[in-house]
């Protein structure tokens, strides 16, 4: 086999992640959105589940229709936070539109047979808290509140 042919064969193989917390399947791990989650946002990706094939998306999330989001903390050592709740997705998408209008870099990335929208926040990364009124049951809508600095 020639070197060029060997390189093409190697490039055609699906690559496994090298960095990040890996699951037993060799895919990158995600955390789930929970009430009280506070995160400084570095990047947001929104798209269909098929656009996140490098991540270990749980089966129950794969059975849902529609888009999901991954919120990447500014601290690169933390796992992305998977969002499936419609109440957060609506607010998060509107927030992404607002951030794009304020000059944040956005792009559409093709991943497998799907596409996802990506918002990059390179400077002044905001911190948000995601909460819900648990007294209203497990399907109570979430809120997204900016955390202000206490300086």
3-state secondary structure 114-134: EEEEEEECCCCCCEEEEEECH
Domain boundaries, the chain: 22-143
pLDDT at position 9 is 41
> Six-digit token pair at 93?
């998408």
Mean pLDDT, each 10-residue run in order, the chain (151 residues): 42 45 64 93 95 86 86 93 93 96 96 92 94 86 84 46
Global pTM value: 0.80
């Amino acid at each position: 086999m020639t070197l060029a042919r060997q390189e093409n064969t190697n490039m055609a193989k699906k690559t496994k992640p090298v960095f990040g917390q890996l699951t037993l399947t060799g895919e990158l791990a995600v955390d789930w959105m929970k009430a009280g989650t506070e995160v400084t946002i570095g990047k947001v990706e929104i798209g269909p589940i098929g656009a996140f094939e490098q991540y270990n998306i749980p089966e129950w999330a794969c059975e849902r229709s529609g888009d999901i989001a991954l919120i990447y903390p500014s601290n690169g050592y933390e796992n992305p936070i998977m969002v499936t709740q419609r109440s957060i997705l609506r607010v998060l998408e509107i927030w992404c539109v607002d951030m794009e209008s304020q000059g944040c870099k956005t792009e559409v990335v093709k991943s497998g047979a799907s596409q996802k929208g990506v918002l990059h926040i390179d400077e002044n990364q905001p911190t948000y808290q995601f909460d819900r009124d648990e007294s209203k049951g497990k399907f109570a809508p979430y809120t997204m509140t900016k955390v202000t600095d206490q300086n």
